[in-house]
Structure 1
Amino acid sequence: MTRLALLGSPVNGALSPVLHRAAYKAMGLPWTYHAIECPPQDLPHFLGTLDGGWRGFSLTMPLKRTVVPLLDETSETVTRIGAANTIVVTASGRLLGENTDLYGVMQALREANVTTATTVTVLGAGATACTALAVGRELGCDQAVVIARDTRRASSLLGPTAERIGIKIIIKPWTAVDHHLAVDLVVSALPPHAADALAPLWKPGTGTLMDVVYRPWPSRFAHAAQGAGRRVVGGLPMLVHQAAQQVALQTGRSPAPVTEMLLAGQSEIREVA
């Protein structure tokens, strides 16, 4: 039996299994996909003991950076961002790494008619923040502000990471958020509820908020941004598009059934709510 899985910690309640299973059903593939709890220290052993039934994996936090040196081959996007969210397992057992998060965010923004951004603020300093910085570069931004609760952790984005992405990064402390929301694009790369306290800081204006949260939706931060006149793009379209790209890579069949995946995700979110 052909098996795939989501790896990460925590993975309880993750939407990826719903999306991938919907894709396989629409494609007539009798494949299985499950969420597997896998902390970083267990990843090398897990990947080193795979049998021939595995076709690929999705990776969520905190594995997107940890996995990179464990891969046999990585794409240009993985090298540039320094993080992988996708593994394709070849017939010979080689592990090929890809990052479909960048594709997912870009597709979600295009659907919202966001095609340029010369001023960008990113909230957060993890692997998703690296993707957000690459998105900013793709949209025409050459200097971005990163707002971090831990500025020492955020300093890891400087140097080689910034050079690979091709963007200048300015790190600001959490207390500086309200001075950096009046930009073309704000990307909240924070987990659910982490930006709730920032909601009152929005002032009337234009621009776009991309919030990677998809549940609960809208987040308090996104609701306040919309009330202040911002275009808001949620995490579900991003998640669906990145998962669809994973499906295409892992099945070798393109395009993936995006509509069926989106409907399955929407249905799951409604049921849980």
Structure 2
Amino acid sequence: MKSTSRASRRCAPGARRTPSTRAAEVASRTRLAVWGDPIGHSRSPLLHTAAYRHLGLDWTYERRQVDAAAFPAALSSLDDSWRGLSLTMPLKEVAHAAADELDRHAVLTGAVNTLLLGETVRGFNTDVGGIVDSFTHAGIAGVRRGRILGAGATAASALVALSDLGTTEVEFRARRPEAVDRLRPTAEALGVQLRTVDFAAPASDVDVTVATLPSGTVLDADVATPLAAVGGTLFEAAYAPWPSALAALWPSSNVISGFEMLLFQAVRQIRVFCGGDPQRELPDEAVTVGIMRSAGMGD
């Protein structure tokens, strides 16, 4: 790590450990990667590499195709040069099981997208904060009623994010309503009233709609159009291709692309890799975010 820059001194990896021997060991951990299957499309290396260059950190960030079956062996093969991992599908549940410690969002969602490696393996879910930050960056700091489309892996993070934004009522629309049942304990723990309705049921007004449907999903127009009319601001978790079929039906001023979640969850991952805390801001964070945004969008 380049210790000469003010940014790298302030980006204090392993801040939880104070002995100089441990600090030296943590500082030697310079390797990072994103794992998943598939993984070739991931923009995470662009985002992370741009941030580390700006922060004066001589860290590497790679991508590697790893499926769920191969994950335990791949994780155990990492040596002390490895600082952490970003995890995407289908690894978030197995990463959750592999962690020795979990943050609140990981506990609530049963998913981990960030592992901080060391004597203990610490697991975080920064997707939740990424969704929250996407809304707040768009000027939405509080939400009373929300709607979530889909009940897949991202739906749990969306539910917790809406709760963090103040939501007390969430309506789910999913092709398999029974899939929502696994989220009921989370909703109860959060004090959120959860209601499941059919996709084609009449829609009432909500403040925000979070679409967690697989990329490329096209809803019938007679289903999607009424949802757009009363759905408030749309957060579309998918970002490629863009606009999605659903986003194309929404008033353009009320649409947030999933790229925002990708960006802000990565910012929180970098906070973890730097200081072990997803809430602790980076030095010159606004500048860092702007550089990451440009890198991720190919500017």
Structure 2: 5+ residue stretches without partners: 1-28, 276-280
Whether 1:29 aligns to 2:57 is yes
| Equivalent residues of 1:206, 1:231 under 8 A apart | no
| Equivalent residues of 1:7, 1:37 under 8 A apart | yes
Cα drift, residue 232 of structure 1: 1.0
Q: Pick one of 52, 75, 90 that aligns with 1:47.
A: 75
* Separation of aligned partners in 1, 2:88 and 2:219: 22
Q: Pick one of 234, 238, 241 that aligns with 1:213.
A: 238
* Separation of aligned partners in 2, 1:206 and 1:126: 20
Aligned residue for 1:73?
Answer: 101
Aligned residue for 1:133?
Answer: 159
Cα drift, residue 40 of structure 1: 1.4
Aligned residue for 2:4?
Answer: none
Q: Pick one of 92, 99, 113 that aligns with 1:85.
A: 113
Aligned residue for 2:17?
Answer: none
* Separation of aligned partners in 2, 1:169 and 1:65: 23
Aligned residue for 1:244?
Answer: 267
3-state secondary structure, aligned to 1:83: coil
* Separation of aligned partners in 1, 2:72 and 2:189: 26
Cα drift, residue 261 of structure 1: 0.4
| Equivalent residues of 1:5, 1:33 under 8 A apart | yes
3-state secondary structure, aligned to 2:91: coil
> What's the C-alpha RMSD, in Å, of the aligned pairs?
2.1
* Separation of aligned partners in 2, 1:212 and 1:68: 21
Query: What TM-score, normalized to structure 1?
Result: 0.87
* Separation of aligned partners in 2, 1:119 and 1:221: 20
Query: Which runs of structure 2 are paired with 1:182-261 in the superposition (5 Å)?
Result: 182-195=205-218, 197=220, 199-205=224-230, 207-226=232-251, 231-252=254-275, 254-255=282-283, 256=285, 257-261=288-292
Structure 1: 5+ residue stretches without partners: 269-273
| Equivalent residues of 1:65, 1:127 under 8 A apart | no
Alpha carbons of 1:193 and 1:81: their partners in 2 closer, same or farther (altered >3 Å)?
A: same
Alpha carbons of 1:168 and 1:48: their partners in 2 closer, same or farther (altered >3 Å)?
A: farther
3-state secondary structure, aligned to 2:93: coil
Moved more, 253-262 or 16-25: 253-262
Query: What TM-score, normalized to structure 2?
Result: 0.80
Q: Which residue type is aligned with residue 265 of structure 1?
A: G
Alpha carbons of 1:151 and 1:196: their partners in 2 closer, same or farther (altered >3 Å)?
A: closer
Q: Which residue type is aligned with residue 139 of structure 2?
A: N
Cα drift, residue 133 of structure 1: 0.8
Q: Which residue type is aligned with residue 69 of structure 1?
A: A
| Deviations, residues 211-246 of structure 1 (Å, cap 9, x unaligned) | 11222222221121126xx61111112211110111
Whether 1:147 aligns to 2:173 is yes
* Separation of aligned partners in 2, 1:173 and 1:62: 27
Aligned residue for 1:7?
Answer: 35
Cα drift, residue 50 of structure 1: 1.8
